[in-house]
Amino acid sequence: MPAIAPMEIQHMVNAKTIMSPNVITVTPEEDIYEAIRIMVLNNVTGLPVVEADDTLVGIITEKDVLGLLYDGEDESGTVRQYMTAEVVTFSPEDDLKAVVETFISHAFRRVPILDEGKLIGVISRKDVVRHISNVKGQDALLAKDSILELLY
């Protein structure tokens, strides 16, 4: 995998800068088929699993529920039975570079952002790509402005 040039991830961009604060979540006691329905309706591939006080207890992803079809099970169950309990998380002040390194070294599509154990946001790979696009777009505009200033 090629190294990420420093220009793509500007100096000390914090996780909170690009995280999505409006996160769709489920509780561990939610019916697994309801969680799947929520994922499909919202076009997301995973959901943080939180207690009533927003304490993160896991994450439920498409990968976690594939066994429902593969095993031929047609039993209902709770999100707790299928979720991944050990989740890699970041704080809002963590450097975005650390998040990107995690995406590169793992197959994660998203990482939760926690403040004192409470879920406050999520960063997805798409959020990082959007950020890189925005930074590159701003750099291109600045370069064009500089050229125009030189010409006029």
Q: What is the mean pLDDT of residues 11-31?
A: 91
Is pLDDT above 70 for 22? Answer: yes
Indicate the fold that domain 23-124 takes in CATH. CBS-domain (3.10.580)
Domain extents in the chain:
23-124
pLDDT per residue as tens digits for the range 40-80: 999 999 999 999 999 999 999 999 988 777 666 567 799 99
Tell me 72's DSSP state: -
Residue 76: the pLDDT is 78
Distance in Å from the first CA to the final CA of the chain: 42
Distance in angstroms (rounded) separating the CA atoms of residues 61 and 59:
6
Find where tokens 């439920």 sit.
60
Tell me 95's DSSP state: B
Find where tokens 């994660």 sit.
108
Residue 121: the pLDDT is 96
Distance in angstroms (rounded) separating the CA atoms of residues 124 and 130:
10
pLDDT per residue as tens digits for the range 100-119: 999 999 988 999 999 999 99
Find where tokens 């890699």 sit.
88
Distance in angstroms (rounded) separating the CA atoms of residues 39 and 110:
14
